[in-house]
Amino acid sequence: MSETEELSLLRRKLARERAAREAAESLLEAKARELHERNLELRRSNEELERFAYAASHDLRAPLRTIAGFSDLLQRKESGAMSDAGREFLELIHEAIGQMDNLIEDLLQFSRANRIEMAFEPVALSQVVDDACDRLRAMLDQQGAVIDMGTLPQVSGHAGLLTRLFQNLISNGCKFARPDVSPVLRISATEEDAQVCVHVADNGIGIEPAYQDKIFQMFTRLHSADEYPGSGIGLALCARIVERHTGRLDVVSEAGQGATFRVWLPKATGDQVPASQ
């Protein structure tokens, strides 16, 4: 093959490679635009869903209060004239009102976690856990729960949301206690580079590995409401709060062996102003 033929062959090869590269770049740009548009659409859908959940929860509160008020009035004024069956039905109504109120409150909390403006500042985790326990004092005392808290560092985050996070995790550990066994929760932390990993370990019924990813999804329940009451939103709210802190949440557990929830949160930095507790 002559030198001229070799150059011609090389030019054709380079032209094919350039055309292939341009086609690949064009396809990549098209896919990037498509992905961007889908992300925008998903974001709009999520925002609309959050607004709906917030508005619906508010709108549901009013008729629920009306039902609760009239059922209370009926119990005070007419319970003496009711049959045993009638009083039992009224108790079921009160129970259903309580369940509905808890569901609405959880929906509102989830919506607020998505809507609240994040202002990261140093937060003392020990104070956060103390505040969470104060909110759960009646439950902790009723179940004889023991909270063993180790030395916890400061993290960077939103104090109110972090209090809700640990309130839900501690409440979860108490709710899923083993029969006739008082809940014991151990809360500890280790520092890993720019993050803090907090462990919330309980001695409850545990979670089978097959379900450990599903429990952080909205309305996921592994047990009936008769066995363990709840809305199925609590751990989804925890996951959302951690996500808003650019952190990570998972669980390590075996059925019957308790569960350890691990929360990764950003460390507090020296140039942040401490949060008021």
**pLDDT tens-digit profile of 132-165?**
999 999 999 999 999 999 999 999 999 989 999 9
Q: Check whether residue 74 and residue 57 sit in a common domain.
A: yes
Task: Give the number of domains in the chain.
Answer: 2
Q: Would residue 275 count as lying in a domain?
A: no
Name which residue leads in pLDDT, 129 or 73: 129
N- to C-terminal Cα distance for the chain? 83
Q: Which helix (H) or strand (E) holds 68?
A: helix 3-78
Q: Would residue 225 count as lying in a domain?
A: yes
Query: Residue 176 pLDDT > 60, yes or no?
Result: yes
Name which residue leads in pLDDT, 165 or 91: 165
Mean pLDDT computed over 92-104: 79
Query: Residue 87 pLDDT > 50, yes or no?
Result: yes
Q: Which long-range contacts (CB under 8 A, 24 or more apart) does 38-44 make?
A: none
pLDDT of residue 197: 96
Q: The domain containing residue 133 runs over which residues? A: 121-266
Measured in degrees and rounded to the nearest 5, phi and psi for residue 251 equal: -140, 145
Q: Would residue 182 count as lying in a domain?
A: yes
Q: Would residue 61 count as lying in a domain?
A: yes
pLDDT of residue 232: 73
Report which of 68, 65, 45 is spatially closest to residue 57, judged by C-alpha positions: 65
pLDDT of residue 251: 92
Q: Would residue 41 count as lying in a domain?
A: yes
For residue 67 the two structure tokens come to 């039902």
Q: Check whether residue 107 and residue 31 sit in a common domain.
A: yes
* CATH code at position 109: 1.10.287
Q: Would residue 274 count as lying in a domain?
A: no
Query: How much is the mean pLDDT over the chain?
Result: 82
Q: How confident is the model at residue 184 (pLDDT cuts 50, 70, 90)?
A: very high
Q: Check whether residue 135 and residue 222 sit in a common domain.
A: yes
Measured in degrees and rounded to the nearest 5, phi and psi for residue 145 equal: -70, 145
Query: Residue 16 pLDDT > 60, yes or no?
Result: yes
Q: Would residue 77 count as lying in a domain?
A: yes
CA distances for 159 relative to 115, 116, 197, 214, angstroms = 15, 12, 17, 27
Report which of 133, 178, 180, 174 is spatially closest to residue 152, judged by C-alpha positions: 133
Query: Residue 277 pLDDT > 50, yes or no?
Result: no
Q: Check whether residue 134 and residue 73 sit in a common domain.
A: no
Q: Check whether residue 95 and residue 125 sit in a common domain.
A: no
Q: Would residue 244 count as lying in a domain?
A: yes
Answer with the one of 96, 115, 134 that is the final residue of a domain. 115
pLDDT of residue 229: 64
Residue 163: partners with Cβ closer than 8 Å, 6 or more residues away: 128, 131, 132, 135
* CATH code at position 154: 3.30.565.10
Paired sense of beta strands 184-192 and 146-149, if any:
parallel
Question: Is this structure's pTM higher than 0.75?
Answer: no
Name which residue leads in pLDDT, 231 or 237: 237
Q: Check whether residue 149 and residue 257 sit in a common domain.
A: yes
Q: Check whether residue 71 and residue 174 sit in a common domain.
A: no
Highest mean pLDDT among 80-94, 214-228, 253-267: 253-267
